[in-house]
Amino acid sequence: MTLLEVKHISHWFGGLQALKDVSFQTQNEILGLIGPNGAGKTTLFNIISGFITPTKGEVIYGGQRIRIHHLRPYQTVRLGMARTFQIVKPFATLTVEENVLTGLGMPFYPTSKALVQRYKTASNMEKVEEILTTTHLIEYRNSPAAKLPIGLQRRLEIARALATGPKLLLLDEPAAGLVSQEATELSDLILNLFHQGIQIIVIEHNMRFAMNLCQRIVVLNQGEMIAQGTPSEVQNNEKVINAYLGQE
Amino acid sequence: MSSGYIVTILTFVAIYISLALSLNILTGYAGQISLGHAAFLGIGAYTSAVLAVHYGLPFWVDFLAAVVVTGMIGTILGLPSLRVRHDFLVLATMGVNFVVVSVFKYVDFFGGAMGLVNIPAPTILGLTFRGGAPYLTLTAIYALLTLAVCWYLSKTWSGLAFHAIRNDEDAAASVGVGSARYKIYAFGISAALAGGAGSLYAHFLGSVFPDNFVFVESIGMLSMVIFGGIGTLRGPIIGAIFLRLMPEMFRFIQDYRFTLYGALLVLMMLFQPMGLLGKDSWLWKFSTRVWPGYRTSKREEMP
Amino acid sequence: MLILQNLSDALILACTYILMAAGLTMVYGVLKVLHIAHASVYTVGAFIGVLIYSWVGNFWLALLGAMLTSGVFGVLIYRSTYFYLLNAPRTVPLIASVGMFVMFTDLLQKNFLMGPYQRAFPAAGAGLPAIQTTWLSLTPKQLLILLVTLGLLVMLYFLLTRTRLGLSWQAASMDREMAAAVGINLNRSIAANFFLGSALAGAAGVLVGVYNNSVFATMGDLPSYKAFIIIVLGGMGSLPGAILASLLLAIVENFMVASIGYVLPRDSIAFLVLILMLMFRPNGLLGRE
């Protein structure tokens, strides 16, 4: 069963076309989404997770053939889709623990549960500890999120996304701003999550990171999909090489 | 200063503590800046006044009505906050304040510019609370009630949701929080609590006039929250106490009360935007360091 | 030709709105914060204007002096407060602005300044004639407002499009960081804009003071609230939008008072319009993303 199917997505921002007829599917893999700057990768993520309604085309999720663009962003979470952001958005006034807690079953709107139930229960805290341990953030649990360095903030965003119990994880440039050791740790973490059964799509600008990590790659350039395949196929693809060379 | 005068001042302080705490839910927890909170005070006060004067209803009825009606109107008036943020929201709240006061002034049912007078003292269970210590007790109880509500709210999922929305609505959406309804809830509960304070206000003064609820009053309330420390429980309480007591203590300041309010706001924004006792303020960090054994985040800070 | 007369009355009203709103747009364009203390600048302009007029008896000198004083006052406000808060989260300068507004309003009402009463500004139409045609008539004062406003707008137009200052304003209002990156002296640019915007407000204050023959400490409140509404209507930061919106608001107010009557005062109209606008078209009438 295909988890996610992107069908003929085209999108215009005013007069500017950001995406041109992009189609691909993904299942049971770590998929990489790469391309030079301005290729439209983040726009595609925004469309998949419901933040933007595409001008044309549709996104179909899970066997239920749900049309994503009829949903609001907070509803796609309910379907088991979680995302991180290109520019980290931690909840700055909350601690690391509390950031993760927000993912653990926050009612989507003020239900009676939201009004009355406390969030810091023992069972929730256990889950938080589990997630913080997996993402190696446990020693920072009480730090205000704003005070963490960028590498840890990126991990925190992943931890927060994990808390929602996703089946599909959309990571937007998770390795940006990381030094090579942190990037390796991140790679291990992503592989770990994949082996736990979570499917992952990664936008990455860092070619080496993406090639090492992903099983399949989709390449975008100026809104169009110019190649898809295994890392070695893509690396040797002429169009891809030209696209990146053209950037320099 | 007679003891009666002191009691009167303290009664006002208690009412304003409730008001500041209620505004803090909206502005401090949920991050919706409101410069029109006095409108809610007014709606609560007028609801009680109208029910008591025009219909002769007992206190507990008009009090509850004030809470409920103000809460409902609050959720409606919160609708603009769904479309706009920050400065635009401030403008909208200012506008709401203005329109509400105009309604009080120009609609005869509310007594027009002459307001409503002869609001009776509340009678609960046969006891009449005619000012003085009994009324202070009443308002103090309400202040404690408001505090309890705020405290509990911050521990619930909705409190956490408010924090999420206040920090970053996109990130909040990414963990499944639908901002819209939570914002309306924030407006509703903030208004309801202010409405209750309004009822107490009306019964205490015995009369209500439209000019009691103008924009400048809203600024006063916001100052209390910000001065004390926005988003904390202690902040609005301290802010209300300080900014209400101060003018009463010093004649000189009484005449320049608003100049001082204004200057304080500016200075706070320049030097301590998180408030006098806010999370990162000098005073708070100092006093929690000096008080041994008090759990602070100092030992959990980054190495 | 009652409609034409009504329109011309609305036009005069619009002129004062335009000056206030244009000034506010200048400031908002580069500051991106609502400068609520703009009201105080307007009032100070009127005050200085009436003072100078009472000393020298010449309207034009009073206008000039008022504009200069307001301009300088505006720059002082910027330099003492907003300057330090440029990169703070938006709520911080907003509240500082409110604080300043409250402070100045209170101070202006003290006896050593304007006091809590009205005073007259008995400048006649500065030697201008009345206009009496079959279609409409303009009193000398109305003609004065019209001419001064037009003159200032023309000067503003030239300043914005032909000088370096104007171009730097356009750049800075589009993207402050980019503007700084290409070498525009942000500080000087913003300060100059405060000067200009505040001077325009001062002019508005003088004109209204003369027209109503009355100057008082809280006269800035309503005009400045309306100016905010106008710049929202016109699409924040757009000067032509502000001018258009001023005209529209003035026309609506004029005609509404005639038809709806006294259920709500004329000034509420503007606020109701604001609330509706913010709910349904928050990007202004000319709708920009």
Reported as a single tens digit per residue, the pLDDT across C159-168 is 888 887 777 7
State the Cα–Cα distance between residues B46 and A51, nearest whole angstrom.
Answer: 43
C271 vs C81, residue with greater confidence: C81
Could you say which residues from 170 to 189 on chain B have a Cβ atom under 8 Å away from some Cβ of chain A? 170-182, 185
What does the block give as tokens for C79?
């330099």
- A235, pLDDT greater than 90: no
In C71-90, the residues whose Cβ lies within 8 Å of chain B are: 81, 84-85, 88, 90
Q: Does the beta-carbon distance from B176 to A106 stay under 8 Å?
A: yes
The pLDDT assigned to B44 comes to 95
Contacts of B170 in chain A (CB under 8 A): 51, 73, 85, 89
Pairing state between β A30-34 and A66-67? unpaired
Pairing type for strands A56-61 and A66-67 reads antiparallel
SS3 of residue A30 by DSSP: strand
Cross-strand bridge partners of residue A33: A203, A218
pLDDT winner (highest mean) among B97-111, C32-46, C105-119:
C32-46
User: Is the per-residue pLDDT at A246 higher than 70?
Assistant: no
User: Could you tell me the pLDDT band of residue B98, with boundaries at 50, 70 and 90?
Assistant: confident
- Residue located via tokens 């053209």: A246
In a domain, C127, yes or no: no
Q: pLDDT value at position B295? A: 46
**Band of residue A73 on the pLDDT scale cut at 50, 70, 90:** confident
The answer to whether A217 and A32 have CB atoms below 8 angstroms apart is: yes
Percent of chain B with pLDDT over 90: 34
Selection from B92, B216, B263, B227 nearest residue C96 by Cα: B263
Between CA C135 and CA C102 the distance in angstroms is: 45
Of residues A52, A50, A54, A81, the one with CA closest to residue A68: A50
pLDDT in tens, B239-268: 999 888 876 766 666 778 778 878 888 988
Does B211 score more than 60 pLDDT?
yes
Count of CB atoms within 10 A of residue B90's CB?
A: 26
Q: Are C215 and C66 contacting, i.e. CB atoms less than 8 angstroms apart?
A: no
Q: Do A201 and A33 contact (CB within 8 A), yes or no?
A: yes
Kindly report the nearest CA distance between residue C288 and chain B, in angstroms. 15
C234-255 per-position pLDDT tens digit = 777 678 888 888 888 888 887 7
Chain A residues in contact with B160 by the CB 8 A cut-off are 94, 98, 101-102, 106, 119
What is the per-residue pLDDT for A56? 85
User: A11 - beta bridge partners?
Assistant: A19
Q: Which among B167, B182, B301 has CB closest to A110?
A: B182
Q: Which residue is closest to C86 within chain B, CA to CA?
A: B270
Given a cut of 90, whether residue B179 has pLDDT beyond it is: no
Helix (H) or strand (E) holding A18, with range, is strand A16-26
Q: Chain A closest CA to B222's CA: distance in Å?
A: 20
pLDDT value of residue C218: 84
Burial (CB count within 10 angstroms: exposed 0-12, middle 13-18, buried 19+), residue A234: buried
CA B147 vs CA A224, B217, B288: distances in Å:
56, 21, 22
Do residues B275 and B239 make contact, with C-beta atoms less than 8 angstroms apart?
yes
Q: Is the ipTM of this complex over 0.90?
A: no
Quick one: pLDDT at residue B303? 35
pLDDT > 70 fraction of chain A, expressed in percent and rounded: 94
Instruction: Tell me which chain B residues have a C-beta less than 8 angstroms from the C-beta of C265.
Output: 102, 106
The pLDDT mean for chain C works out to 81
pLDDT of residue C282: 63
Residue B194 has pLDDT above 90, yes or no: yes
Q: Which two tokens stand for residue B212?
A: 């009691």
Provide, as residue numbers in chain B, all residues whose Cβ is less than 8 Å from the Cβ of A90.
Answer: 167-168, 171
Among C235, C233, C237, smallest CA distance to C173 is for C237
At residue A238, the pLDDT reads: 82
Work out whether strand A168-172 and strand B123-124 pair parallel, antiparallel, or are unpaired. Answer: unpaired
State the residue range of the domain holding C59: 2-121+137-280
B144 — contact with chain C (CB < 8 Å)? no
Task: Fold for B3-278, please state it.
Answer: ABC transporter involved in vitamin B12 uptake, BtuC (1.10.3470)
Whether the pLDDT of residue C70 is over 80: the answer is: yes
Cα(A42)–Cα(C144) distance, integer angstroms: 56
Contact B159, B153 (CB under 8 A): yes
Minimal Cβ distance to B83: which of C92, C265, C278? C278
Residue C214 lies in a domain: yes
- C129 belongs to a structural domain: no
pLDDT of residue C263: 56
pLDDT band at C148 (very low <50, low <70, confident <90, very high): confident
Cα C177 to chain centroid, rounded: 27
CA-CA distance, B74 to B85, in Å (whole number)? 17
Instruction: Give the pLDDT confidence score for residue B296 in this predicted structure.
Output: 44
Which pLDDT belongs to residue B155?
92
Determine whether the interchain pair B170/A74 forms a contact, defined as Cβ–Cβ distance below 8 Å.
no
For residue B291, is pLDDT > 70? no
SS3 A169: strand
Whether C278 sits inside 8 A of B84 (CB atoms) is: yes
For tokens 């007829």, name the residue. Answer: A21
- Beta strands A81-83 and A168-172, pairing class: parallel
- The whole-angstrom separation of Cα B65 and Cα A126 is 43
Q: What is the share, in percent, of chain C residues with pLDDT greater than 90?
A: 18
**pLDDT for the residue numbered A7:** 85
Q: DSSP code of B26?
A: I
Whether the CB-CB separation of B194 and B225 falls below 8 Å is answered with no
Q: How many angstroms separate the CA atoms of C241 and C18, rounded?
A: 10
Q: Which residues contact residue B279 at a Cβ distance below 8 angstroms, ignoring those fewer than 6 apart?
A: A93, B229, B231, B232
Per the CB < 8 Å rule, is A118 touching B301?
no
For residues C6-43, one letter each, b for 16 or more C-beta atoms within 10 angstroms of the residue's C-beta and e for the rest, the string is: ebbbbbbbbbbbbbbbbbbbbbbbbbbbbbbbbbbbbb
User: Which one of B34, B35, B93, B98 would you mutate to disrupt binding with C, by most C Cβ within 10 Å of its Cβ?
Assistant: B98
Q: Which domains does chain A carry?
A: 4-247 (3.40.50.300)
Torsion sign across C-alpha atoms A204, A206, A209, A213: positive
Residue spans of alpha helices (H) in C109-139: none
Beta carbons of A132 and A191 less than 8 angstroms apart: no
At B128, phi and psi to the nearest 5? -100, 130
- The answer to whether residues B66 and B199 touch, using CB atoms and an 8 Å cutoff, is yes
* Closest in A83, A102, A110 to B164, CB measured: A102
Of the candidate ranges B83-97, B155-169, C178-192, the one whose mean pLDDT is the lowest: C178-192
Which CATH number is C45's domain given? 1.10.3470
Looking at the predicted structure, is the pLDDT value of residue A120 above 60?
Answer: yes
pLDDT average, residue stretch C23-47: 87
State whether B86 and C100 contact (CB < 8 Å).
Answer: no
CB B35 within 8 A of CB B215: yes
CA distance B183 to B227: 23
Judged by CB atoms closer than 8 Å, whether chains meet at B155 and A118 is answered as yes
- pLDDT given for residue C176 in this prediction: 67
pLDDT of A179 over the 60 cut = yes
Mean pLDDT estimate for chain A: 86
Residue A65 CB coordination number (10 Å): 9
A86 touches chain B (CB under 8 A): no
Q: Which residues of A touch B173 (CB under 8 A)?
A: 51, 72-74, 77
Model confidence at A224, pLDDT cuts 50, 70, 90, reads: confident
Name the pLDDT band for B201 (thresholds 50, 70, 90): very high
CB under 8 A, 24+ apart: contacts of B144-149: B146/B17, B146/B18, B146/B21, B146/B22, B146/B193, B146/B196, B146/B197, B147/B17, B147/B21, B147/B233, B147/B237, B149/B189, B149/B193
Average pLDDT over residues B178-191: 92
Token pair of C285, please? Answer: 């009438």
- The burial of C151, by beta-carbon neighbours within 10 Å (0-12 exposed, 13-18 middle, 19 or more buried), is given as exposed
Burial profile C44-71: b = 16 or more Cβ within 10 angstroms, e = fewer: bbbbbbbbbbeeeeebeebbbbbbbbbb
Answer with the residue of higher pLDDT: C43 or A114: C43
Q: What are phi and psi of B125, to 5 degrees?
A: 50, 40
Name the residue among C39, C29, C264 with its Cα closest to residue C160: C29
- Three-state DSSP class for residue A2: coil
Q: What is the pTM of this model?
A: 0.84
Lowest mean pLDDT among B22-36, B258-272, C188-202, C251-265: C251-265
B216 touches chain C (CB under 8 A): yes
Beta-sheet pairing, A30-34 with A199-204 = parallel
Nearest to B302 among A90, A107, A148 (CB): A148
- In whole angstroms, how far apart are CA C106 and each of A11, B247, C113, C281? 54, 15, 10, 35
Region C24-31 average pLDDT: 83
**Does the pLDDT value for residue C44 go beyond 80?**
yes
Rounded percentage of chain C residues whose pLDDT exceeds 70: 84
In this prediction, residue C88 carries a pLDDT of 80
The tally of domains found in chain C comes to 1
Q: Is the CB of A146 inside 8 Å of chain B's CB atoms? A: no
More confident residue, C71 or A38: C71
Find the Cα–Cα–Cα–Cα dihedral C72, C76, C82, C84, rounded to 10°: 140
Q: Which of A71, A106, A160 to mutate to test the interface with B (most CBs of B within 10 A)?
A: A106
Mean pLDDT in residue range C129-158 = 80
Q: Which of A13-22, A117-126, B142-151, C277-286 has the highest mean pLDDT?
A: B142-151
**A147 in B contact zone (CB under 8 Å):** yes
Mean pLDDT of all residues in A227-245: 82
Subunits with at least 3 CB pairs below 8 A relative to chain C? B
From the CB of residue B271, how many other CB atoms can be counted at a distance below 10 Å?
A: 10
> Which of A121-130, C240-249, C259-268 is the most confident on average?
A121-130
**DSSP three-state, residue C114:** coil
Contacts of A161 (CB under 8 A, 6+ apart): A82, A83, A84, A103, A169, B174, B175
pLDDT tens digits along C200-247: 999 999 999 888 888 888 888 888 888 888 887 777 767 888 888 888
Mutate to test the interface with A, among B163, B175, B177, B285 (most CBs of A within 10 A): B175
C-alpha–C-alpha distance, residues A183 and A211, integer Å: 13
DSSP code of residue C215: B
Residue type, C141: K
pLDDT at B198 over 90: yes
**Position C286 pLDDT exceeds 60:** no
Q: Is there a domain that residue C223 lies in?
A: yes
Residue C199 has pLDDT above 90, yes or no: yes
Comparison of pLDDT for C48 and B117, the residue scoring more: C48
> Rounded to whole angstroms, what are the CA distances from B77 to A80, A207, A212, B39, B64?
34, 51, 54, 10, 20
Q: What's the average model confidence in pLDDT over C77-95? A: 85
Mean pLDDT, residues B193-204 taken together? 94
Q: Is the pLDDT of residue C261 over 90?
A: no
Is it the case that residue B192 has pLDDT exceeding 90? yes
Per-residue pLDDT averaged across C34-43, rounded?
Answer: 90
